[in-house]
Amino acid sequence: MNRSTRWLLALSVLGALSLAASAMAATPVTRTLQKSINVPAGGSIKLENLVGHMRVVTGTGPVQIDATVVAGGDQAQALAESVKLDVSTSGTQTLVHVDYPVDRHDTFLYNPPDSTSGGSDEVCILGKLICFHGRSSSDFRYQGKRVRVNQTSGGGSGTPLYVDVVVHLPANVAGNFSNAAGLLDAEGLANKLGLDTEGGDIHGQNLQGQLDVGSDGGDVYLKNVASSQARVHTGGGDFTGSTLSGDLNVATGGGDARLSGALSALRSLDVETGGGDFNATGDLAALTSLDIESGGGDIGMHVSGLSMHLDAASDGGDIGIHLPDMRNVNSSSGHFSCDLGKAVGTGTLRSGGGDITLTKP
């Protein structure tokens, strides 16, 4: 074997070893953490997580928490073992905190396993959340430290570490759940709930009881929710609701709000969008209080069953209200009022500069 052949062979072996080492480093390490917590009936639990997918589902007996730590890189095992579940109790209130090594790492990388979006150079900046198509960079205050989470559909920089959490919540315990970055799901619950993210979306389905939902930068989706009091607030994301009943209050800083599906058991509806549009489609026969305000977006409603005195005003847009049972109609520039049905309730529609449209489906 000549010298050139030996050099080529050596280089081939080194390349293969390098690829193997890279593959080993890229293989994530998972670690399971579990807690079973006895929270007294009428008590509450609060859970805080920095990054990952959090799910809250119904349970029986103690509150059961199943956390899956996912770590990558050449120090993945040590990184996974550095995460802990801290539990503290004060009276009937329990706090569960997912402890991250923020004293040694200030930037974390999150590649959601179900992400299918690709990257692009399209930039949208909203507050502290800097978004790219398929990528986002978010700054948070966690454990008294300023940390950043880089979320991508592949690649990216930062310490590869996140924790997926599943909470089994019994019916007689109130819960407040905070997931700074990543999706937060809640399904099949009748508890008093607080759901909060700073940059992730929130999905709620088949829920009853008092509900307080907030996201600084993500979207909120609610489906089949019956609540005596449901509050939703987003910093810049959209709200989408379908099959809702009870009392609903929605505020979006700049996103749209959309309602559809079975709405006939909705009693009161209060929506404020800073600059987004509002759209509703459905039967609003039980509605006695309606208050919709948009700073600059359009208001479009294709609904039936309204029975109320209605006032509509737009500073710069057109008003088009066309319902078959209108009476006592008063119309002037930028203003419209009428009685609908038996006029048992009150309704107000206001837009800073958008159009207002109200028609029958």
Q: What per-residue confidence (pLDDT) applies to 131?
A: 43
- Structure confidence by residue, pLDDT tens digits, 38-68: 999 999 999 999 999 999 999 999 999 999 9
- Structure confidence by residue, pLDDT tens digits, 67-105: 999 999 999 999 999 999 999 999 999 999 999 999 999
- Answer for the pair 48, 4: CB distance below 8 angstroms, yes or no: no
- DSSP string computed for 226-284: EEEEEEEEESS--EEEEEEEEEEEEEESS--EEEES--TEEEEEEEEESS--EEEEEE-
- Token pair for 76: 């993945």
| Single-letter residue type at 85 | L
- Token pair for 341: 């049905």
Q: What per-residue confidence (pLDDT) applies to 152?
A: 83
Q: What per-residue confidence (pLDDT) applies to 26?
A: 60
> Could you tell me which of 86, 74, 85, 84 has the C-alpha nearest to residue 160?
74
- DSSP string computed for 182-206: S-EEEEEE-S-EEEEESSS-EEEEE
Mean pLDDT of 218-237: 95
Q: What per-residue confidence (pLDDT) applies to 134?
A: 52
- Structure confidence by residue, pLDDT tens digits, 308-328: 999 999 998 999 999 989 999
- Token pair for 94: 């329990």
Band (pLDDT 50/70/90 cuts) for residue 114 is low
Band (pLDDT 50/70/90 cuts) for residue 126 is very low
> Could you tell me which of 337, 347, 358, 354 has the C-alpha nearest to residue 280?
358
- Give the SS3 label for residue 111: coil
Least confident range from 22-31, 133-142, 307-316: namely 22-31
Mean pLDDT of 125-143: 63
CA distance 318 to 295: 15
- Answer for the pair 222, 262: CB distance below 8 angstroms, yes or no: no
Mean pLDDT estimate for the chain: 88
- Token pair for 310: 């209605």
- pLDDT over 90 percentage in the chain: 78
* Residue predicted with more confidence, 236 or 258: 258
